[in-house]
Chain A
Amino acid sequence: MKEDLVLPTPREAAAGASGEPLLVAEGLTKHFPVKGGFPVRRTVGQVQAVDGIDLTVHVGESFGLVGESGCGKSTTGRLITRLLEPTGGTISYRGRDITRASRRQLAPIRSEIQMIFQDPYSSLNPRQTVGKIISGPMEINGIDPAGGREKRVRELLEIVGLNPEHFNRFPHEFSGGQRQRIGVARALALEPKLIVADEPVSALDVSIQAQVVNLLQKVQEELGIAFLFIAHDLAVVRHFSQRVAVMYLGKVIEVGDRDSIYTRPRHPYTHALLSAVPEVNVTGGDESGRERIRLAGDVPSPINPPSGCRFRTRCWKAQDKCAAEEPPLVRLSGNRDGHLTACHFPEEPTIEAREQDIVLDPALAALEETDED
């Protein structure tokens, strides 16, 4: 596998217009109906997978979306690629509203927004050769690159670090990491401006993950492609993304530049999330330097989410106001530009250890209390 990759020079469009919004989602909402009842099946509820989120991805930027399972991050990715129809809100791509665009209207845009999927096993057709998989998007979009499609496929294989001679092989002849590279090559085939990567490395082994993360980073930086990077692994997202949004139960609860989110978070949930990441201390520094927050229970059901602030049922700061009033996503005083938090009672902007650990889990609290006695 080649590590020194030669990439073509970035296209002008991307290089010139950095900082300009590429994709803007406003009030984006997706509710899935829950059917039930017999003999006539009726809609008995709504899974509020995504409930009114605002996102902006700028040209050439890598934007990370983190959250736990069921928070709506994957649904958001699918809404943005228009694989799902939004229930409400708007999506505009380069200033054009594409929320309700028809198949025909979308056709020219589809090629500019591509997707990389989580599972490299189920996202490649086992009956097609690698060459066919990668040239498929070009065929559909009627693109004939100079020198022919086959030459372009070989180039792409080279870019993602695979042997161009493997053009005629089938997906089963490749390992998981190599398959994910094929997925990346397919996404690059149409020279997209935005790639939505939904958990692109979480199915891979640790030693292979880094290979794919480095490849994506190279592609992002050198080709100037904007990324919406969706993952649950906070360390990977930190490594890859310039801006990060944290989601909880279908809402964005905090968004900001990487530094603000990872070192000066304000939302209690962001604090809890960061403190829960198990870390290797390789430097041998002080281990007790990080705060310790242990929440109780799991994420509530999105069918019937809590009123007001959705995190309040697991929050140690929750008060009556949190149940009555949904906190707006705003910039708090002392925060940097673009660092927005949705909380009535924000935390101090630090991740240093607190005087007292926050342990909300009843079993843990009980066991730890008997230890202290």
Chain B
Amino acid sequence: MTTVTKTEDAAAPGGPESFLSVRDLSVRFATEDGVVKAVDGLSFDVERGRTLGIVGESGSGKSVTNLTILGLHNPRSTTVDGEIVLDGKELVTATEREMEQLRGNKAAMIFQDPLTALSPYYTVGRQIAEPFRKHTGASKKAAWERAVEMLGKVGIPNPEQRAKDYPHQFSGGMRQRAMIAMALVCDPDLLIADEPTTALDVTVQAQILDLLKDLQQEFGSAIIFITHDLGVIADMADDIMVMYAGGAIERGTTDQVLRSPQHPYTWGLLKSMPRLDSDLGTPLAPIPGTPPSLLDPPSGCRFHPRCTFQDRVGGDRCVTERPLLGPDRSSACHLTAEQKRTIFVEEIKPRLG
């Protein structure tokens, strides 16, 4: 049995500056094996001009959340509860027509694999020009010029010629640049980047990440940046939300989450990740076990079967009561604030080398 002591209302809606606000979002998929609770009771805000980094392992619900924001889930097999408010507009109940006007215009997405996300049948220039024509009503010629301009901006050499090429004629890094150009062509207020550099080489990744940062300065969009790589998130995000098994377990500014993390899962991630400057004498400390199945998630704290700090909480609170996450800097864990601080300083930090 899971008892909930605090209500999610504790996560009060952010101030007027919060541009996207997600409240108590739940997403369930009906599958052959049962109902998958991909996202369960998630709340967060994104402000204009800021980057929220969502970090988590596969199956933590980070991608599903963002597909739901853009209404890209399959409505037949998916149940969505809660609220998603983008710039004052409620999206969960919005019609397909309303979503169509919003996608690519107010909110755009960059996908992980640019080769499958781009159509092989149309030229790159045409694919970039199309959303611009649709949303602004520009002429064919004006849209094409805009596409060429965007390709130049994201660093495609010789953009007039390359706009006439097909995606297969582009290299991996160039395709991802074309995707970025397509996402930014209508000057969106919200950009969702779902693992945009995971498929790229490290030197190309560095170029793309810096490009996104510089373009954000110019366009002033809010960015939701999804990744499993803590190094990338440290580089990109202003704020971080850590997700595990369909829920957020820790949030704060990048500095807070990476320098003084509070949740045992975040500690585990940091300890298990080799770094270029880590001490070679200390072996990596993996998180024991494997991520849970979302068909039948663990009771209480979802992380408790893998957590080594359960005994410090005492009793069976971790098994029976799901810890909730506050709106600002907080972590969903039953350890007291004092315990979190001392455990990190005395036991975790020395092992980070």
Contact = CB atoms under 8 A, between A and B. Distances in A.
A206 B73 CA distance: 26
Contacts of A361: 155, 207, 210-211
A236 B211 contact: no
- Classify chain B: how many residues form its interface, as a range: 35 or more
A298 B172 contact: yes
A296 B156 CA distance: 10
Contacts of B228: 205-206
B352 A206 contact: no
B259 A278 contact: no
Contact of A232 (B202, B229, B235, B268): B202
Interface string A330-373: 00000000000000000000000000000001111001100100
Residue of B230, B231, B277, B284 with highest tally of chain A CB at under 10 A: B277
A278 B270 CA distance: 14
Contacts of B273: 206, 210, 235, 280
Contacts of A283: 352
Give the residue among A217, A235, A371 with the most B Cβ atoms within 10 A: A235
Interface in A220-257: 232, 234-236, 238-239
Contact of A210 (B153, B207, B215, B285): B285
Contacts of B214: 364, 367-368, 371
Interface string A258-283: 10001000000000111111111111
B74 interface: no
Contacts of A280: 230-231, 234, 258, 270, 273, 275
B286 A238 contact: no
Nearest to A234: B276
Contact of A279 (B234, B284, B288, B291): B234
B343 to A, nearest CB: 15
Interface string A10-28: 0000000000000000000
A207 interface: yes
Interface string B152-186: 11110100000000000001111001000000000
Q: Tell me if B's interface is mostly helix, strand, loop or mixed.
A: helix
B284 A238 contact: no
Contacts of B272: 206-207, 209-211
B280 interface: yes
A319 B344 CA distance: 51
Contacts of B172: 69, 298
Interface string A302-328: 000000000000000000000000000
Contacts of B290: 175, 177-178, 208
Interface in B264-280: 268-278, 280
A299 interface: yes
Nearest to B174: A298
A371 B201 CA distance: 27
Contact of A364 (B58, B155, B157, B201): B155
A78 interface: no
A298 B157 CA distance: 12
A239 B209 contact: no
Contacts of A69: 172, 201
Given A278-B206, A280-B230, A281-B234, A298 B173 contact: yes
A281 B57 CA distance: 20
A178 B290 CA distance: 9
A363 B153 contact: yes
A277 B203 CA distance: 8
A276 B284 contact: no
Contacts of A148: none
A355 to B, nearest CB: 19
A273 B203 contact: yes
B203 A68 contact: yes
A213 B259 contact: no
Given A281-B259, A363-B177, 14 more contacts: A68-B201, A69-B172, A207-B272, A207-B287, A209-B272, A276-B203, A279-B234, A294-B207, A296-B155, A296-B207, A298-B171, A298-B201, A367-B215, A371-B214
13 contacts: A69-B201, A206-B269, A206-B273, A210-B286, A213-B274, A213-B284, A273-B203, A280-B231, A281-B258, A294-B206, A297-B157, A297-B174, A298-B173
The 9 closest A-B pairs by CB, nearest first: A363-B155, A278-B231, A210-B272, A210-B286, A276-B206, A68-B201, A210-B284, A367-B214, A207-B287
